[in-house]
Structure formats: structure tokens, C-alpha cells
Structure 1
Amino acid sequence: MPGENLTRAEAQERASILEVDAYDIELDLTRGDEVFGSTTTVRFRATEGASTFIDHISAAVHQVTLNGVDLDVADVDDSVRIRLDGLQAENELRVVSDARYVNTGEGLHRFVDPVDGEVYLYSQFEVPDSRRVFAVFEQPDLKATFRFTVTAPARWQVVSNQPTPEPVVDGDTGTWSFEPTPRISSYITALVAGPYDVVRSELASADGRTIPLGIFCRASLAEHMDADYIFEKTRQGFAFFEAQFGVPYPFDKYDQLFVPEFNAGAMENAGCVTFTEAYVFRAQVTDAIRERRVVTVLHELAHMWFGDLVTMRWWNDLWLNESFAEWASTLATAEATEWTEAWTTFQAMEKTWAYKQDQLPSTHPIVAEIRDLEDVQVNFDGITYAKGGSVLKQLVAWVGLEAFMQGVGAYFRTHAWGNTELSDLLSELEAASGRDLGEWSRLWLETAGVNTLRPAIETTADGIITSFAIEQTAPETHPTLRPHRLAIGFYDVQDKALRRIHRVELDVDGARTEVPSLVGHMRPALILVNDEDLAYAKIRLDEASTRTALGQLRDIEDPLARALVWGAAWDATRDAETPASDYVDLVLENIGAETESTTIRLALTQLALVARTYVHPSKRTATIERAGDRLWQLASEAEAGSDAQFQFAGAFAGLASTDEHVAILRGLLDGDQRLEGLEIDADLRWQLLDGLVLAGAAGEEEIAALLATDDTATGRQFAARARATVPTPEAKEAAFASVVDAEGASNMIVRYTGQGLAHVNDPASLQGLVARYHDAIQSIWDSRTYQVAEGLLVGVYPGGLASRELADATRAWLAANEPAPALRRIIIEHLAGVERALAAQERDA
């Protein structure tokens, strides 16, 4: 990726001499399969006589005209930047170029639907990719208005940030001339075009305006698009956010578009939000994914205010955009929709992600040092989203929800259509709450690492508490002790359930915090530090509570309390404090009684990881076999048609290893064996076939046959995963070569191939990839765009080996090379994962 970087220093220098007023962008989408026409006219003010550059990653630049003078294209353009010298106080620049369609999800993505041959386009510009479509000063603080004029087939839908106008039609071609946007950053501009199916509706905003709504997806998926439900969640989110923020929705319409081969979950383009079409459910999905879709819908809606109306000045405050949207969407989900246990889901998924990320050698403060665009790319991580959201939750508990929302509303009103820094938000929160947030910011936002909290309890012989304290520790690499607002819950048996009988909320600070209010109480069966999950910290259970949790986890009545216990057990396993085999026992003995879909989903994912890489290798085969047996038993015993039944059946297929497992999977596929209530739909059929492939009982013939019945984009992705799952060294090397040695695979094929490579019961089939992977690292990084390079380097790493040999090879590569910081981070995270697995194996020996 040489030449495409932009440093913060360059951005600051450019912002010091420029003020951008308006862009007029003309795009011609009728020029074939590879390139499209792009003409940009931008009006801007500048320091007279200054020089700067405009960004444009193009296929070819044909004309550059600055203030009426044609510049020598060969002299000023290097296909990434166009140099601009001798600026005037008022300037007009016109750039005529060809730009390339992509299949990487970075720029204007072009997809051909295998079902009907139709072409679908969509833009994805965050972080630095609007420059792949038009010439632009690509940094968030150079806001401007954007007017798009788009020429495309007349039968297409064409959608951008502003309401779609009627096209001017000439034969089979139409031209859509959009009104200018408000002043926004380039990365939230958008274009979506193609024969999308659309459902329309509207809602009334708090200020009395009628806001048009649209939901779009590919025509071949339209029968599966539950638009009425998405509209309902959208209306609930609008009402909630407008009431909480005290600021009406800032844009003229709100379209939500579900697009193919999307790299992320969604993107907050102003008034034109794009989502992964995995959220169009063509087959049964877990309740966990249904809930996640609601959170994602509300996450992007929250961004319309926080991120789009008010935008960070530079990417070091990216965390604030994402953390706020993550926290606000969870709050809205819990309080405005039927998913009332959203904070349980947040604990299970987001905090688990955050704790994992915060213990990697690549961890960083929430407010990270973002020197350039490469730093931004790697900081879309669990710190940016999940830890930041967790810390905001703790801040809200400290200052109070009402004061927090008052401060946020004032922030929106004061800085509307502008750019801000963290201090701008903190000053509004301080004014609303009366609290000094300087020290809080220093300890929580400017330092890295996660603390661990443990109860220290002394009792009399008959169980009366004589001393109670919370002990706080920090890792040696990040030794900061922090203040925590948290609750302590006492749980005891009532009517055969473990219920909370007492709760105290307090501030914890320093290495030891005494809790005198608990002295004199009878010790309960279970003591839960961080009850209700207010604090961001790993927790440990005392010895007696651990015994209760292991024996009676299923009896804890409150789902959030259960999730906290599940999380504590997982953290202790990852930290090699408890044997991995104990975690396997915990899951297999308790997961059948769990009611929360996300908790089930996470525990089953962790079970597979532990069985394959954390238990001692001498136990691996027996553990995988036992897990598969128990998962089939759980699926057979679960309520017919339930989410639990569906999850247990899928997890069973994912761990299939014996002849008996193969017979069950074949029976389910052939219809000879049934589970009442379990529908074998298209996606589950692929999961079952994956299980047969994993167990060595199916291969290319069966994969090709199933693909012939499901030759869709999703089917082709599943087929790529299944081919990479074939458990032979030859198949693994062929799958590796298909995405590493041959360029051109789409971003989704790369992702699914990586999933299949990692899907092993016997990791020996991956041994041949160790040298191949390390030999290919630098060439992958040098020859691919960031998204594809990262997807490859993460997806095809043979981490399932979890061996000393793999760790040594990765360590040797790091010692012999001087990679770019973003590349080094990917590789050291791989190494950390292998070392953690080796420590867990040793503990489990």
C-alpha cells in the first residue's frame, strides 16, 4: 500500500491553509465492468500562494483544471495525489478521471448476482476511500457540501445522502441530479446503485417534519427482507434518540440498504446507511443474531447525531464515535425494543471482545495515538468499540444518565455540522454533571490494560462476615489502578433458584477498598463483584463462590448475573488460572439450561476453541468426541423449534468427529433422521455438510452437488469454506493458494476460505502452511489493499496448530523483518494467541 498513506501532520498542515466549500461530483456508471467516469469540481478557499494536494486513487486522470488553467496531468498526478501549486484566495478545481470498481469493499464495490446476472454497486468510504471514487480532500475536518449527479441504467435505483430525485431519462439511461448535502465529511458520503428492491415508509420527526424511509436489498433476496420489522425498530430508535438527545434528526431522509460482500456490519453514511446483507435472513438464524441486527440498526442511527452531525476532527477520536454509538444503541435496544436483556448481551459479547483485545501486546489507550491512516485501520478494534462503550457505561453510572444526556444534547447543539475533539464533549458533561472529568479521562482514556477485581473475605466459623474488601490488580505491562463504580451482589438459594438477596453500590479505588457495610452479614452462597456489570474490569470469584458457580450456574435466576459468572470462568481459563478441561465441563453441564441466545452462542464458540487449542493435546481427541456427543444430546433434549435446539445442532456439526456423528449428520441431510422442530434449510444444510467434510466423510463431489442447488452468493461463500475445511494437507494448501497465490478473490471468498482453513479437529493438516504463510506475509501486505491484506493475514494464519513450532516460526519472522506498524500488529497478535493457547495447554496437562 505504498503512497496511499496520509499522516496527521499532513492533514493538519492542509487544514491550516484550506477551507472547502462545495463539491460537484458527476459519476457515469455506464462505461463497462471495470471503470466508471468521475468528474469532480470543488470550490475552496486557501492561503494565497500556498501549495497542497487533493487525494484521488484513479485508473486514469484525463484533465486537471485549477482556476481555469489546465495543469500537466503527468506532472501533478501520481494516481494517488494531485499536486496543487500557487493557490488563490478563492479556487475552483476540476478533475476529470476514470475510477475503478472494486471487489474488496473499499471504494465503489461492484457485485454480479449469480442468481440473475444483475449488477449491484455500493460505496464504502470509511476511512480513506471516497478518494477511490472522486477527487477529494480526504480528511474528516475538511467538511463541505456534496452534490452528486449520477448517470446509470434508467431502470436502476440510485440512492445517495439526499432524497433521490426523478431521473432525466434518455433511452435506457437515466441521470439523477441530487440536491447538495449539508456540510459533512467525505467519508460519510454515499452512492448505492443497481436494480435493488425497495420498500418505502415514513415517520414524523420531533420537529414535525416527515422523514421518508426506505429499505433496499437485492431483488433475489427481496422475499426474505422483513422490512416492516426494520421500520418498527427504526421508529422506536428515532423516538428514543430524539427524546434523549433533545435534538431532532438532522437529515432529510433515512434509507437503509442491505448490500452484498460488505466488510463490516454496517456504515453510518448520512441518511444512507449500508448494512451487510447477512442481516437479510434467508434461513433460520439464532436469536443472538436477530438481536445483534437490532443493535446494529440503532448503532448506525445513533451515528446520525454522533459522528455525522458532529464529527471528530481527526481519527484519534474515532473511539468516541464508535463507543458512543455502541453504548447508545445498547441502551436504546434495552429500553425501547423487546430485547430488554441487551445489557446481558453487551456483557457477553462486547466486554468479552474488549477484555481479549485489552490483553494483547497491541493494546493501546482508548484515546490512541493516530499518526496516519494505517494507524486508523488497525484501531477499528475491541478497544475502539467495546472497551470504549464499556467505559462510557461506567461514566454514565458515575455522573448519572440524566446529566450525561443533558451534556450530550448541549454538545450536539453547540457543535452542529462542525468538528470536535474529546475535550469538547467532556466540557459539556462537566457542565451538566458538576464533576471534574480530567482525572477520569487520564486514568481511563489515556492508559491501556484491564484491571482484575477480587473479593477478600473473612468470616466466623458460622459464616458471619468479619472483613470484606475488593482487591484490585493490574498487569505488569500496564500497571495503572483505576477508580471503578460498581455493585456487589449477594446471591442465595430461594425456591431452588439462586437469587440476589442483598446489593451494595460503591466506588472502588486503589489496591484495596474496604467495604464495611457488608461486615456483619451472613455469607451467601455466591458473592458477585461487579453485579449488574457497571464496571469495566475482569472479576474473580472467591473459592466458595466458585464452587457454587460451578455446581449451580444453571440455577442463577438473573441472566446478567449468569453472564458475569460465565465471563469470570472464561477469563480464568484464558489466563491459565484454571484448567481448560474444567471450562469444557462447565459448558457441557450448564449450557442446556441457559436462556440467553448470545450467552449460548458465545459459550459454544469458546467451547470449540478450548476443545481444539486450550486442552492439552493428549486430551484433544477425547474432548472433541465428548463435546460432540453431549451437544447432540442437548440438541435432542431441547425444546422443539427452539433457539437452543438450533444452536446445539449447529455446534454439534461444527465439532463432528466420530462415525456416530457422521451417521447422524448424514441422516439429517438425507431426511432419514429428524429432530422435531429443526428445519434443515439452505444454510443449515451447508453447516451439516461442513461437519461431514470436517470428519473426512464428504468432499468435492458433495460440495459441488450442494452448490448446484444453491448457486447464490451465499452458497458460493459456503462452498469456499467447505473446500477449505477438507482435512488433508493437500486441500489446506490448495485453499491457501486459491486466495494467496491468485489475486482477484472477493473479500467474502477470502473471509470464508479463512474460516474453512481454521476449521480443524486434527491440526496436523495445517503443518504445511507454517512456512508458506511466513514466506507470503510481506508480499500479501505489499500487493493488496488494506482490507484484503488484513483479511488474508488473519484468515490463513495456521493458528489451529497452537504449537511451539508455530510460535517459533512467527517469532523468527518478527525478528528477521521490520514490518510496518499495522502489519507488525497483526503478526504479534497471532503470536500472542498461540502463546496463550500454549500456556492453557500446560495448565491443563
Structure 2
Amino acid sequence: MPGMNLTREEARTRAELITVHSYDVELDLTGSDTVFSSRTTVRFSAAPGASSFIDAVMPTVRSVNLNGTELDTAQVADGVRIALPSLAAENTVVIDADALYMNTGEGLHRFVDPVDQEVYLYSQFEVPDSRRMFAVFEQPDLKASFTFTVTAPEHWDVISNSATPAPVPAHAGAKTWSFAPTERISSYITALVAGPYQCVRSELTSSDGRIIPLGVFARASLMEHLDAENIFTLTRQGFEFFEEQFGTPYPFTKYDQLFVPEFNAGAMENAGAVTFLESYVFRSRPTDAMVERRAITILHELAHMWFGDLVTMRWWNDLWLNESFAEFMAALAAAQNTQFTSSWTTFNIMEKNWAYRQDQLPSTHPIKAEINDLEDVLVNFDGITYAKGASVLRQLVAWVGQEQFMAGVRSYFDKHAWKNTELPDLIRELEAASGRDLGPWSEAWLETAGVNTLRAAIETDDAGTITSFVINQSAIAAYPTIRPHRLAVGFYDLNEAGALVRVHREELDVAGTTTEVPALVGRQRPALVLVNDDDLAYAKIRLDELSLATATKHLKDFEQSLPRTLVWGATWDAVRDAEAPARAYIDVVLGNIGHESDSSVVMVLLRQLNTALDFYVDRSVAAEASASAADALWELARSAAAGSDSQLQFTRAFAQRAGSPAQLDAVEALLSGDLVLQGLSVDTDLRWDLLTSLAAGSRASVETIEQELARDNTANGSLAAHTARAAVPTAEAKAAAWEGILGGELSNLEQRAAITGFNRVHDLELISGYVPAYFEAARTVWETKSHEIAQQVIVGLYPAVQTNQATLDATDEFISSLGEDSRALRRLVIEARDGVVRALAAQGADV
């Protein structure tokens, strides 16, 4: 039998043979710390006489009973799959097994809270990990009803997709929770969360008059920090917006939102039981950007209750439909029905930047990707699947109109509720509602890869009147598709108050390599012309020479955040593409970021500043540029408004870059309290930021880190300590971090924290010797670790900071050694290699 992978052909064949009716899953969580009992009864129809298999990633399968006959487990079970021979028309299989608790954030994850030593469990099944908790036909198009019966310690709470029932006594110290059957759903959105979680409860009234119970859950040690009312407010706003737009009442009976420890992603759309990472419970002052990110995530997961959970993709090649739709709808709901009215600015600086970056990698792919097996989909949770797809949906809405788009979506839900679909099912409904033929649009946007670039070519007479206005569209040779765009051109001039304001907007369709815009001929040429104003289109933009000069001088003077952010993006693109020097970009950032009002924009600009300094600046002046930037960030922190979001962000950014004796003195003084910035609270998380800065700068020992951990003996404190220890700039500390990361003893987030610290160095020579060790270990890591753990290592420890030809040569040698069965590993390394190639080109442009 094959291993952990599952091919699309295998899934298609199995779906043709089998229709699943129901699962009864009985779990006992009261025994071992490492394994739990899992007994699954599955009822299903099949083609008589056919043979198939059920998935069960379990170390021990005690018995398999198929239609009353005991099968030989040694013959039918291999620890990943269980063979089911000679099926009848109607079948019942009962599988009794032991399953493993995980510490990787996959399957049923087990965590012990260092504060109270209590055990907390949660499931994470997307893509193929429900098979780690119970025997299951693990593919999205074999939907069924699931009934969970769970025996657990009596003081726990147990949460699943159905409403939590009153437990009944089991054996001593334990109770049993028997949940009602779920609706007909896919296995990857089933859920189990168990432990002494605490809860704040509320309710809302659905559009069809039902009372929907709401719950917000967290560990006991985090409850004092949980701002449940804010979460309930956003949830109500999301319900109101989505039920109106979709014309379909909320499809499930309750809606719980659970903040769980050591979660790998932002959240997961389990039906009626959404799980979130605990970073969204703010134990220290969060940036406004983090608060907005949590709001977008809450809305994203809620949108999934309809798109993904009620109607589900048939196979993972339509994963983009789930994720892009939820991403677009979250931004739309935030902009139109919450306090986050500038969400499209955030969408541009975060999602679109992610999409543009991903779409220019050698591994770029069409939005509608070809997913041949599970390995393909596991590396396809990327900027194209989420952000490019959402950007293209926004373009489609601009083209056909929001009401027409939503009318098509409403019809789609009406026809396909509780079923599985493919892209053409949605396209048909959108065509019917809009009256447009979407075939050419779908082909150009969904079935081709790459991003276009748009430029305005403007001619004027001596009086400054426009005599010709043309939008030129280009594409690179490898991905030459020229696409249609619905976009706006904005004219901006300085008003009497010195603000850069829009004085004219022209919306039009762009197609082909050149598009003339006669409506703009005869107008006075403004100070700045912005192609793709309002950010309707998915395309990189370049400013003409006069507009670039205006933007460079007056970037801070834009009256609105979105056009300013579009200019920020164009400026950054030019640096990444080695068309403009990195140091000029750094000067623009440091000269203007103090005036930036949008927290998410500040956050991303600071990330891009670090990337420019660490990768794109000419290496002969990199140390000087970094020191100068750190001084500028410190001055920005000191001059920022007391208690402002920018003050907090600039302080953190300064601490990350501080390296000179004077800079480290300032960090030390902030941490000790000898230096106080008015309005800045040096709270728990900021203390760790400052201490890690000192550790990386040889100003804090491992003993000092342990003292801080004793002060903050929490899960978050433990993760911060892993980062700080690994950041200590000694050969011994780096070796210990390396061994810990590869040794397999760390949990998923502990490993991630250690990788972050390992890469935190002021002197790159300290870790340059690990380049050969990385390539020696990479294949073994990939073959022996779970996907999440392996991907963290492959991406996180890749020697990206060693931007030289030797790194490229070692990478190429490794890639050439990989066989066809290592497609996912090959992709990750090729993507990492591209970062070095891009860095070398940018460094050349900075000389």
C-alpha cells in the first residue's frame, strides 16, 4: 500500500465506488498521555464486489470488522490505510484502534499549560488529518453525518460541531459526552476541542428567526485577557452581512469560537466550532494592526460556514474557491459593516503584496491549480490560493457589479447546499445573474499564472494639457498572458492646505498591450497620475517620472490611505524587481513612515524595511545602513505621540535592529526602567522583545533569560525564551538551537520560535557553517517528520541570509538530487532559492 499520500485519481475512484452515510466515533481521552482509544463505526454504500480502503493513521489497529466478519489486521492495516475487500451494496465497518496525540498542530494536538499543568486538546484536520483521530474516508467529496461520543476527565469541557450535551458519569473521575449527529459535512471540518477551557456565552437571532448560541473559549490562564464582547460584536456584524448577501440563513445550530494553544495557522473553519491561534488573545497591548487582523480572520472563518462548509469543493484543486471567497468576503464585510472601513487599504498592503510576491516565484501556478495529490495541496496554502484569488474576485465584482455577483452566489447556495461542487458550478450561476460570458475571463484569470504590469504613457502640450493618454500592459516572457482589467485612473493634485487629493477619477476597461483613454485627453496634467486607483485590478503598477517625483516628495501628504498605500506598493515592487536602489527606498520609508496613520501599513513597511536592509542593500555598506536605520527608528519612537500605536511599533522595530553599543544601551535602559518613553508601557511581551534584542547583542545571558521565564512562566513566555536562547550569539547557543530544532523534541511552535532565534544574528558568519548541514539534513527531515514540522525546517532553516553564489550552487546540487516523488520538497527549496537570486539582483541595483 502507498504511504501518507493520496492521489486525485485514487479519490475519484473511491468516490465512484462509495457513498458514505454516517460515522459513529467513540473516543476515550482518559488513559495514556500519548495515545487515546478510537472506535469508529462507518455505514456506507458501495458497488457490490468492489474493494476499497479507509484511512487510519494509527499505530495500533486492534480489530477491523466488516459486515460482521473479523478481518486480519496484520493483512489489511498498515498504519495509514485499512483495506476493505469484497464490499456489499450496504456496508458497516467497525474499527477499534489507538490513535496518537500530536504536538505538531496536526490531528488531535495535546498541550500542557505550564501555569496550571492542565491538559488542553484540539483537533486540526485540514487537509488530511481527521484520519489521525478516527478511521475515515479522507476526502472532501465523501460527506457524511458524524456522531461523536467522548469520554474525558469530568472537570473538562468538550466541544464539537454539534451543541455540547450534558455529560453522564462514566468510570471514576470521568464523564461521557454524547453529541447529536452533525449535518452532512466533510471530515476535514469536523472538530473536537477538550480540556478545562473556560467560556463566555451569548446568542444572536438568525435571519430565519432561530436563536444561535455563541461561545468564546480560551484556556483558564488566558481568560483574564479575553475581550469576548469585541468578538461577539464582530460576529454579529458578520452574521448580519453574510446572511443578507448570501440570502441563506446560517446553516448550523450554534457558533463557537475557540482560542487554542500551539495553533499553526490563523484559524480553521470547523463547522460551528472555529479554532483560532492564541495570539489573538491579547495579554499585552496589541498593535491596531493585530486587532484588525483578528477581525478579518473572524469574518473570514464565518464566511466559510457557507462557502466551504455548506457547499464544499469536490477536490483540492478548487481549494482557492474556499479560501479566496472567504478572504474577499471578509474584507468586503469589514469595509461595509464594521468599524474597519479602511480594510481595502489593509487588503492591499498585506494580501495583495503576498499575492504579487508569490506570483513572481518560479513555483507560481494558476489560481485554479492542478492538484494531483495531497502533497500538492499541502504546499498550496499560498498567496495565490488566498490573496490572488481574492484580488481576482474583487476584480470580477467590479466588472459585473456587487449585486449581480451576490445574486449568482445566492443561486449557487440554493442549488448546492450540503453538496460538493467544482468551479463551473459557480461560474454558471454568476453568468446567469450577470448576463456576461465568463468563459474568457475565467480562462485568462483562473487558468494562467503571472502578474501583469501597468504603466501610463502621457503626452502633454506646452500648457500641460494632456494630448495623449495610453495605459501600457506588459507581462514577462515566461507568463505572457495579457489580461482584461476593470480599473480606475486617479488624478491627484496638491490643494491649498498642502494635501494630495484626488481631483478626477476615470473608470474604464483595459485590454491588450495598449489601451488609449480618450476621456482624459484635454484635461490638465495633474501632479500625480495613479493607475489602478481604488485598487480594483490585480496588477503591478509603475509611476511615470513626474508622478514618481511627486510621490517621493509628498507621499505623506495623501489625504486618503489607499492611494498612498498603492504608491508604497509600487515603490517596493521596483526595489524587489531590482529597478530601484534599496537605500533610496529605505530613505523614503524612514522619511515618511512617521506620518503614516494606518497601523497595518506601518507594520508591513517595517517588515519591508527589514527585508531591504537584510537582503537588498549592497553588502559593502549593509552594516552601516542597518546602524543608521536603527538610529532613525529610535528617533521615530522617541518623537511618536505618547501612547500611540506607532510609538509601540517603532520601539519594537528599533529593538529588533539595535546592534551598536549606544543602541543596546537604550534597549537596556528601556527594559530596566531607567529610560521611560511617555505613554509606552513596557509590558510582558515588550519585555521579551527587548530582552531578545539584548540576547542577540551579547548583552543578556542564558541565565538572564531563565530569570525572565521564571517571571513569565506561561506558554507565551516559554516560546519567547526559546527564541531568546537561540538568539544568543555564541557557537554553543547556535549549536544547541540547531540540535533542538532537528532533534524532534520540540512542539510545533517551540520549533518555530527556536528557528526565529537561530536566524537572529548581527554577524552572518556565526551561522554560515550551517549551510552544508542544512542540505545534509533536509531530505531526512522531509521523509521522517510530519508535514507541518518538516515545512517549518525546510523553509525556516534555509540559508537565505547567505546571499552568495555558493548558496545557489549548494541549492542547485540539492535540487538536482531530488526525484519526482519529492515535488513538494523541490517546490519549497526552489522558492527559497529564488529569494537569494532576487537579493543578489537587488544588491546589484543598490551599488
TM-score w.r.t. the length of structure 2 is 0.99
Deviation of 1:730 after TM superposition, in Å, equals: 3.8
Q: How far apart, CA to CA, are the structure 1 residues paired with 2:469 and 2:697?
A: 52
Indicate whether 1:776 and 2:777 are aligned: yes
Return the match for 2:654 from 652, 655, 662. Answer: 652
Deviation of 1:228 after TM superposition, in Å, equals: 0.8
Q: How far apart, CA to CA, are the structure 2 residues paired with 1:260 and 1:272?
A: 15
Per the alignment, in what secondary structure is the counterpart of residue 216 of structure 2?
Answer: strand
Residue in 2 that maps onto 1:53: 53
Deviation of 1:463 after TM superposition, in Å, equals: 1.4
1:636-666 CA deviation, whole Å, 9 max, x = no partner? 1111111010000000001101111111111
Per the alignment, in what secondary structure is the counterpart of residue 37 of structure 1?
Answer: strand
Residue in 2 that maps onto 1:664: 666
1:699-736 CA deviation, whole Å, 9 max, x = no partner? 31221111111121111111111122223344323212
Residue in 2 that maps onto 1:544: 546
Deviation of 1:2 after TM superposition, in Å, equals: 6.9
Indicate whether 1:388 and 2:389 are aligned: yes
Aligned-residue identity in percent: 61
Indicate whether 1:449 and 2:481 are aligned: no
Return the match for 1:629 from 583, 608, 631. Answer: 631
Return the match for 1:830 from 809, 812, 832. Answer: 832
Retained in 1: the 8 A contact 2:741–2:755?
no
Retained in 2: the 8 A contact 1:106–1:125?
yes
Per the alignment, in what secondary structure is the counterpart of residue 533 of structure 1?
Answer: coil
Q: How far apart, CA to CA, are the structure 2 residues paired with 1:759 and 1:536?
A: 34
Per the alignment, in what secondary structure is the counterpart of residue 180 of structure 2?
Answer: coil
Per the alignment, in what secondary structure is the counterpart of residue 79 of structure 1?
Answer: coil
Q: How does 1:90-105 map to 2 (within 5 A)?
A: 90-105=90-105
Indicate whether 1:613 and 2:615 are aligned: yes
Retained in 1: the 8 A contact 2:24–2:41?
yes
Name the amino acid aligned to 1:303.
H
Per the alignment, in what secondary structure is the counterpart of residue 350 of structure 1?
Answer: helix
Residue in 2 that maps onto 1:520: 522
Per the alignment, in what secondary structure is the counterpart of residue 799 of structure 1?
Answer: coil
Retained in 2: the 8 A contact 1:122–1:192?
yes
Name the amino acid aligned to 2:61.
V
Q: How does 1:397-796 map to 2 (within 5 A)?
A: 397-494=398-495, 495-740=497-742, 742-796=743-797
Deviation of 1:59 after TM superposition, in Å, equals: 1.8
Residue in 2 that maps onto 1:157: 157
Per the alignment, in what secondary structure is the counterpart of residue 801 of structure 2?
Answer: helix
1:669-714 CA deviation, whole Å, 9 max, x = no partner? 1100000000000100010111112222223122111111112111
Residue in 1 that maps onto 2:228: 227
Deviation of 1:490 after TM superposition, in Å, equals: 0.4
RMSD over aligned CA atoms reads 1.0
Q: How far apart, CA to CA, are the structure 1 residues paired with 2:844 and 2:82?
A: 56
Deviation of 1:296 after TM superposition, in Å, equals: 0.3
Per the alignment, in what secondary structure is the counterpart of residue 74 of structure 1?
Answer: helix
**Gap change, CA 1:804 and 1:729, over 3 Å in 2:** farther
Q: How far apart, CA to CA, are the structure 2 residues paired with 1:160 and 1:63?
A: 26
Higher alpha-carbon deviation: 197-206 or 700-709: 700-709
Higher alpha-carbon deviation: 456-465 or 44-53: 456-465
Q: How far apart, CA to CA, are the structure 2 residues paired with 1:655 and 1:59?
A: 47
Q: How far apart, CA to CA, are the structure 1 residues paired with 2:451 and 2:728?
A: 39
Name the amino acid aligned to 1:151.
T
Name the amino acid aligned to 1:381.
D
1:528-556 CA deviation, whole Å, 9 max, x = no partner? 00000000000000011111111110001
Deviation of 1:757 after TM superposition, in Å, equals: 2.2
Q: How far apart, CA to CA, are the structure 2 residues paired with 1:81 and 1:75?
A: 11
Name the amino acid aligned to 1:423.
P
Name the amino acid aligned to 2:449.
A
Residue in 2 that maps onto 1:840: 842
Residue in 2 that maps onto 1:273: 274
Per the alignment, in what secondary structure is the counterpart of residue 529 of structure 1?
Answer: strand
Q: How far apart, CA to CA, are the structure 1 residues paired with 2:631 and 2:462?
A: 43
Deviation of 1:613 after TM superposition, in Å, equals: 1.2
Q: How far apart, CA to CA, are the structure 2 residues paired with 1:802 and 1:723?
A: 25
Indicate whether 1:14 and 2:44 are aligned: no
Retained in 2: the 8 A contact 1:767–1:801?
yes
Q: How does 1:138-287 map to 2 (within 5 A)?
A: 138-170=138-170, 171-287=172-288
Per the alignment, in what secondary structure is the counterpart of residue 247 of structure 1?
Answer: coil
Residue in 1 that maps onto 2:34: 34
Name the amino acid aligned to 1:29.
L
Higher alpha-carbon deviation: 761-770 or 509-518: 761-770
Name the amino acid aligned to 1:624.
S
Retained in 1: the 8 A contact 2:556–2:596?
yes
Name the amino acid aligned to 1:607.
L
1:603-649 CA deviation, whole Å, 9 max, x = no partner? 00110111111100111111111111111111111111110100000
Residue in 2 that maps onto 1:132: 132
Retained in 1: the 8 A contact 2:8–2:373?
yes
1:382-417 CA deviation, whole Å, 9 max, x = no partner? 000000000000000000000001110110111000
1:749-806 CA deviation, whole Å, 9 max, x = no partner? 1111121222233322220110110111101001101010001111112212222221
Q: How far apart, CA to CA, are the structure 2 residues paired with 1:153 and 1:49?
A: 43
Residue in 1 that maps onto 2:341: 340
Q: How far apart, CA to CA, are the structure 2 residues paired with 1:520 and 1:726?
A: 64
Q: How far apart, CA to CA, are the structure 2 residues paired with 1:60 and 1:417?
A: 34
Retained in 2: the 8 A contact 1:736–1:796?
no
Retained in 1: the 8 A contact 2:453–2:540?
yes
Q: How far apart, CA to CA, are the structure 2 residues paired with 1:340 and 1:609?
A: 29
Any gaps of 5 or more consecutive residues in structure 1?
none
Q: How far apart, CA to CA, are the structure 2 residues paired with 1:727 and 1:464?
A: 61
1:4-47 CA deviation, whole Å, 9 max, x = no partner? 00000000000001010000000000111000000000000000
Retained in 1: the 8 A contact 2:493–2:527?
yes
Retained in 2: the 8 A contact 1:750–1:795?
no
Name the amino acid aligned to 1:126.
E
Deviation of 1:266 after TM superposition, in Å, equals: 0.2
Q: How does 1:113-132 map to 2 (within 5 A)?
A: 113-132=113-132
Q: How far apart, CA to CA, are the structure 2 residues paired with 1:2 and 1:652?
A: 51
**Gap change, CA 1:758 and 1:103, over 3 Å in 2:** same
Name the amino acid aligned to 1:178.
F
Q: How far apart, CA to CA, are the structure 2 residues paired with 1:803 and 1:247?
A: 56
Deviation of 1:180 after TM superposition, in Å, equals: 0.3
Per the alignment, in what secondary structure is the counterpart of residue 159 of structure 1?
Answer: strand
1:812-835 CA deviation, whole Å, 9 max, x = no partner? 211233361000001001110001
Q: How far apart, CA to CA, are the structure 2 residues paired with 1:698 and 1:160?
A: 45
1:413-438 CA deviation, whole Å, 9 max, x = no partner? 11000000000000000010000000
Name the amino acid aligned to 1:573.
V
